[in-house]
Amino acid sequence: MLYRAHRNAGRTAALAAVLLCGVALVPPLAGAAGLGGKSVGNESVTSATGGVTASVTTMTFTTNTDQTSTVTNNGTVALVAESYSVTVSNPTGGNPTFKVFQCAVAWSATKCSGGAGTQVGATLAKNSTTTITSTTAMAVSGLLYLQVEPASVTASTVVTISTKIAAPTQLRAAVKTNQ
């Protein structure tokens, strides 16, 4: 009996110690010094994406034949400009040059609505990487048609096109909403 009494007393003391420690570790309530008023509101926000893709990003030229690529604004924000990083390989022979033209409609027999289209950037030389920029506006899901026109191709030359959209400079103008 005495042993059990001691054991129960020990348990009680241990429990009390744990409870005291718990009380000591719990920080005082924030409102303990007086009343506090609180009000809560919520606003949800979703950010846009800015980006375009080109249907053809690698073109191999063995003759002076034009090649095309369609650019799509697959982001969620309209654009005011688009950039292209164009890399021209170093062919084994010759000094080929390339020009990039754009058209608002699909190219037809190398013509843009019967015309030449609008050149984007300057003439590109072999063994180079150049960033060229178009200032044509593109709506969300809008399309733009590129045509790469070679000259003086005598050996296989590869042109690679990488699209680039810089935010916020190439995105539509900022919008202010009051609600």
By CB under 8 A, name the binding residues for another protein: 33-54, 57, 74-77, 162-168, 171-179
CB closer to another protein out of 2 and 33: 33
Work out how close the CB of 41 gets to another protein at its nearest, in angstroms, rounded to a whole number.
Answer: 3
Take residue 132 and report the two structure tokens written for it. 């060229």
Q: Is the peptide bond before 150 cis (omega within 30 degrees of 0)?
A: no
HSE-CB for 149 with a 13 A CA cutoff: 19
Q: Which is nearer to another protein, 31 or 114 (CB)?
A: 31
In the complex, least distance from residue 12 CB atom to another protein, rounded to whole angstroms: 39
Q: How far is the CB of 160 from another protein (least distance, A)?
A: 11
CB of 101 to another protein, least distance (A): 20
Comparing CB distances to another protein, the nearer of 64 and 131 is: 131
Nearer to another protein, 110 or 162 (CB): 162
What is the C-alpha separation between 69 and 119, in angstroms, rounded? 14
Distances (CA, A) of 145 to 1, 7, 69, 171: 97, 88, 6, 19
In the sheet with 67-73, reading across from the earlier edge strand, the strands are: 52-54, 67-73, 143-151, 97-103, 118-125
